[in-house]
């Protein structure tokens, strides 16, 4: 049974709106007294199952142009930096596996995840580059004897690869179709706009 004061935060590193939620969820969840499970997943297989073979930002050019404008306005409203990266959408596979490796070893992945997002959406970094991931691991206050290289190696292990596939299976079972999503019990919420509502349901 999932405890009612837990909320699972489903994020995809390629997703700009997941960035907004990643940067906001710690403060909001602390104030709400809700524990957050940081759950990376990949949207590619989920989108393919809906019949979408590309980012929704690119599939529908008009909607995509709007979303970029909306991101700039909404990030500014939140007081967050936002700069559309040159590479978009990006490949978040390595970051997702490292986040799972951290969680699997009992570390809170939040600082790492937020650093990856900030590097991508504020500093124009390529997050498929292991050097970007290593730099983000450097921001994560990990034990001194654990190197970025060791985490990146661990992220390629069969166990971690399987854990990411399992996340996709669970996302599919829950009926997720986009990111960010939030789940508590059987309730799912889609979109950064629903973060506050999801926290209220997690409290209830």
Residue 24 makes contact with a copy of itself by CB under 8 A:
no
| Binding residue (CB under 8 A) for a copy of itself from 28, 60, 122, 128 | 60
Is residue 156 within 8 Å of residue 97, measured between CB atoms?
yes
Is residue 172 within 8 Å of residue 46, measured between CB atoms?
yes
Residue 45 makes contact with a copy of itself by CB under 8 A:
no
Residue 56 makes contact with a copy of itself by CB under 8 A:
no
3-state helix, strand, coil in the chain (%, to 5): 55, 10, 35
Cβ nearer to a copy of itself, comparing 118 with 176: 176
Q: How many CB atoms lie within 10 A of CB 64?
A: 16
Is residue 4 within 8 Å of residue 185, measured between CB atoms?
yes
Is residue 148 within 8 Å of residue 137, measured between CB atoms?
yes
Residue 190 makes contact with a copy of itself by CB under 8 A:
yes
Is residue 128 within 8 Å of residue 89, measured between CB atoms?
no
Residue 168 makes contact with a copy of itself by CB under 8 A:
no
Q: How far is the CB of 96 from a copy of itself (least distance, A)?
A: 21
Cβ nearer to a copy of itself, comparing 95 with 178: 178
Residue 177 makes contact with a copy of itself by CB under 8 A:
yes
Q: How far is the CB of 154 from a copy of itself (least distance, A)?
A: 33
Q: How far is the CB of 149 from a copy of itself (least distance, A)?
A: 40
For a copy of itself, which stretch binds (CB under 8 A), given 36-44, 116-124, 149-157, 183-191? 183-191
> Beta partners for 35?
6
- The sign of the dihedral angle between the CA atoms of 34, 117, 134, 54 is positive
Cβ neighbours for 10, distance < 8 A, ≥ 6 positions apart:
39, 41, 171, 176, 179, 180, 181, 182, 183
Instruction: Name residues contacting a copy of itself, limited to 76-105 (CB under 8 A).
Output: 77
Residues that bind a copy of itself (CB under 8 A): 50-51, 60, 62-63, 65-66, 69-70, 73-74, 77, 175, 177-178, 188-191, 193-194, 197, 201
């Amino acid at each position: 049974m999932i405890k009612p004061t837990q909320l699972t935060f489903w994020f995809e590193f390629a997703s700009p709106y997941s960035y907004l939620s990643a940067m906001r969820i710690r403060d909001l969840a602390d104030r709400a007294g809700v524990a957050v499970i940081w759950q990376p997943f990949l949207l590619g297989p989920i989108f393919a199952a809906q019949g979408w073979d590309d980012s929704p930002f690119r599939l529908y050019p008009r909607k995509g142009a709007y979303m970029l404008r909306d991101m700039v306005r909404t990030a500014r409203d939140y007081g967050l930096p936002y700069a559309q990266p040159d590479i978009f959408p990006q490949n978040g596979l390595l970051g997702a596996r490292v986040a799972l490796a951290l969680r699997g070893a009992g570390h809170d992945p939040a600082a790492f995840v937020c650093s990856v997002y900030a590097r991508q959406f504020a500093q124009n970094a390529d997050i498929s580059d292991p050097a970007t991931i290593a730099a983000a691991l450097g921001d994560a206050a990990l034990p001194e004897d654990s190197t970025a290289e060791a985490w990146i190696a661990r992220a390629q292990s069969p166990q971690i690869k399987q854990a990411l596939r399992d996340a996709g299976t669970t996302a599919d079972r829950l009926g997720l179709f986009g990111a960010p999503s939030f789940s508590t019990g059987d309730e799912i919420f889609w979109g950064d706009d629903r973060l506050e509502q999801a926290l209220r349901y997690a409290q209830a």
